[in-house]
Structure 1
Amino acid sequence: MSDVYAPRGLARILETAGAWLLALLWIAPLAYAVWTAFHPPEFSTRFELFAPLTLENFARAWEAAPFARYFLNTFVLVTVILACQLVLCTLAAFAFARYAFPGQTLVFALVLAQLMIMPDVLIVENYRTMGRIGILDSIPAIGLPYMASAFGIFLLRQTFKTVPRELDDAARVEGATPLQVLWRVYVPLGRPVYVAYGLVSVSYHWNNFLWPLIVTNSVEARPLTVGLQVFSSTDQGVDWSIICAATLLTAAPLLIGFLLFQRQFVQSFMRAGIK
């Protein structure tokens, strides 16, 4: 028996060691950013146990760029995109989950096919479209290509299909319309999934860089990620202390959001059968 369990024990040790190695590789850049952001610039390349702490780097980063405008642009952008995605994805997912119509399988296959297309492939055509409708260099130009989400439709459809049809029938007997059934039955039952998808959507569009960089030219329309490039294009060279401080300012809302909703995030994907 010991010979049988020995390979399993060795495999478990190797898995644990690999997990710790990956964790260290992930946390090392974050630890460096935190260290550099909270210490004077001369400590960005050397470590001292009792090095003085400072918040000056954050003040310098805030003054070096219009962070208030960048935060406002980003907040408006992710909020509008998420609101539109939730409405459109909810309606589409409800239709796919509970209604039968001609060509349903084909249409849903086309929705799933969009999951296989990288967004970067559509940049040129999206840019031309934004130019033709005259909204380049604006927040709507950044968000318009993302107002609907194939991933959101798929995720909510999987969730809605697990809702018993008896609840539909009971609501309709009480005189509820299809939209009332959706709002009062399906949406409350899918609340954890909405939380998880909201975190995914917000984190993606909060960190999106390439498309906002291409479609915007002015400070008035640029989000945080594009604004960060200001710190890497100075004539005095790269100041890692101010770059790390600016990066932490940008990432802090996402980190706080994930820590607050991490349990709902994990549980919702488990319920939807997605790994």
Structure 2
Amino acid sequence: MKIVIFGGTGRIGARLARLLRLRGHHVVPASPSTGVDTVAGNGLADTVSRADVVVDVTDTPSFAAHAAMDFFQTSTRNMVSAAVAARVRHHVVLSIVGADRMPASGYMRAKAAQEKLVEHGLVPYTVVRATQTFESVDDTTATCDDHRPLRLSPVLMQPMAAEDAAAVLADVAEAEPFGGRVDIAGPDRLRQDDLVRTLLAARHDSRDVVTAPAAYFHGASVDDTTLVPARPWRLGGTDLTGWLAGHATNQQSGPPRLTPLAPHGRG
């Protein structure tokens, strides 16, 4: 199959492209660096021509509410229009577990709006909602102010490895459209503040983590049900210990281990 990956040079997109190539597919990574601009619409028609599947793993360059909404709405409309014209048979989009449960967050409102546009489009679709990745949480802590304690909620999370998320997306891209949503997550539920303490310790980062029950997540209040899936369709096999070991050596410890929970999950 010809599979176009919008955002195909990013963290998950590049992993997905590698997995799908190993499975024998013709993979086209599409991003501004390859001459494809989903917001302006440049290069879309030629890129999706004769494509069987398009996968959207793009992300906004700005987390500001207005900018995020403009990015996801404009780019998604352009992708859907190009996919309709090219008669693409399956549109896969990567979203976030809990996006529809955080209306106070401008970024999450934009992700929820993205989902709606795909659902109301004319291309058969699957929305894959993933929990936060270990990589994204680690990056966030690394870029915070080095001189101030991190104030974090003890809210439950169920983080997963980016490699596991890519493996699920590869399976979904090869399958028939679900016409709905599936939630995916890591194998274990962890407290956000404890998770970050562990990540900091692994980097020998001496910053303190202050547990703050009222702390926001992406500008929204959260509880123990917000960031974890109620009915996960698939669980990744990489836990925090395994991820830290692989991250420390900059190696993958083998193919992703995935736990199927349902043959036909829908959110």
* TM, length-normalised to structure 1: 0.24
Larger RCO (alpha carbons 8 Å, 6+ apart): 1
TM-score w.r.t. length of structure 2: 0.25
Give the structure with the higher percent helix. 1
Q: Relative to total residues, which structure has the larger strand share, 1 or 2?
A: 2
